[in-house]
Amino acid sequence: MFVPSTRRQLLRGAALSGIALPAVLRGSAAFAQAKTDEAVTVPVDQLMAEGPLPDMWIGQKDAPVSIVEYASMTCPHCAAFHAETWPTLKTKYIDTGKARFVLREFPLDPLATAGFMLARCAGPDKRNAITDLLFDQQKNWAFVDKPVDALAATVRQAGITQAQFEACLKDQKLYGQVNQIRDDASTKFKIDATPTFFINGKKYTGELSVAQMDKDIDDATKK
């Protein structure tokens, strides 16, 4: 999904930003190779168990279908899903009460961790709006010469000041919680690529089209 030159670009941009964020942006980055597997099923009680941070669900709590996406803020395939599939998914299934949806953190590099931390720092009411913003404008901040500066400029559109930006990314507890979500998913659910989806516990790896989501959700509602 990512090539080594992209990793160097991310970390070089962090170093040039002039912001002292060692915990978030000096760590090693892990890059997963996208692949398509036959779907497997994870026990729903394990999938829905309380994690290091609360889930921010979109949709009705009693919806018959629960969709969990593990994504990375710097994953182009994740951004493509949110641009091309998510609007139809939301209109057809979330807004009609047929399904609910949650995006969980699976950062593949330190910059993605920073993006997720900023979304959490914005508070429960703004968390999903921040992740939407970062996906929508991913090319403007994730793959530029100074991505940290560009990230700060991007979230400033949502009202996050420079002081709040720096304070958030120095939050060691939050840093650990975001990465723990990823580590737990990797260990418990064998996730090694983004995006990875669970539809009522059934696992799908890779960017899903509207047609594929239709089939998978319809299959889930028949059970």
Question: Are residues 53 and 181 in contact, defined by beta-carbon separation less than 8 angstroms?
Answer: yes
Instruction: Work out the number of other CB atoms within 10 angstroms of the CB of residue 174.
Output: 21
Question: Are residues 63 and 100 in contact, defined by beta-carbon separation less than 8 angstroms?
Answer: yes
Task: Please tell me the predicted confidence (pLDDT) of residue 156.
Answer: 97
What distance in Å separates the CA atoms of residue 105 and residue 82, rounded to the nearest whole number?
15
Contacts with 54 (C-beta within 8 Å, 6 or more apart), sequence order:
124
Read off the pLDDT of residues 41-71 as tens digits, 9 standing for 90 and up: 899 899 999 999 999 999 999 999 999 999 9
Least confident stretch, 23-27, 48-52, 145-149: 23-27
Check pLDDT > 70 for residue 27.
Answer: no
Task: Please tell me the predicted confidence (pLDDT) of residue 222.
Answer: 74
Higher pLDDT among residues 6 and 223, named by residue = 223
Q: What is the CATH number of domain 4-203?
A: 3.40.30.10
Residue-by-residue DSSP string for 55-123: ---BS-TT-SEEEEEEE-TT-HHHHHHHHHTHHHHIIIIITTTSEEEEEEE--SSHHHHHHHHHHHHT-
Higher pLDDT among residues 201 and 25, named by residue = 201
Higher pLDDT among residues 65 and 208, named by residue = 65
Q: How far apart are the first and last CA of the chain?
A: 34
- What does the pLDDT average to over 201-215? 89
Contacts with 89 (C-beta within 8 Å, 6 or more apart), sequence order:
67, 99, 101, 210, 213
- What is the model's pTM? 0.85
Domain ranges of the chain: 4-203
160 band by pLDDT with thresholds 50, 70 and 90: very high
- What does the pLDDT average to over 189-206? 93
Question: 189: which DSSP letter?
Answer: H
Least confident stretch, 12-21, 79-88, 126-135: 12-21
Question: Are residues 151 and 87 in contact, defined by beta-carbon separation less than 8 angstroms?
Answer: no
Instruction: Please give the structure tokens belonging to residue 59.
Output: 């949709």
Cα 83 to chain centroid, rounded: 14
- What does the pLDDT average to over 88-108? 96
What's the angle, vertex CA 199, arms to CA 94 and CA 93, rounded to 5?
Answer: 15
Higher pLDDT among residues 101 and 209, named by residue = 101
Least confident stretch, 37-41, 104-108, 191-195: 37-41
Chain-wide mean pLDDT for the chain? 86
Higher pLDDT among residues 4 and 27, named by residue = 27
- What does the pLDDT average to over 77-103? 96
Check pLDDT > 60 for residue 185.
Answer: yes
Task: Please tell me the predicted confidence (pLDDT) of residue 7.
Answer: 41
Check pLDDT > 80 for residue 26.
Answer: no
Written as one letter, the residue type at 25 is: L
Task: Please tell me the predicted confidence (pLDDT) of residue 33.
Answer: 36
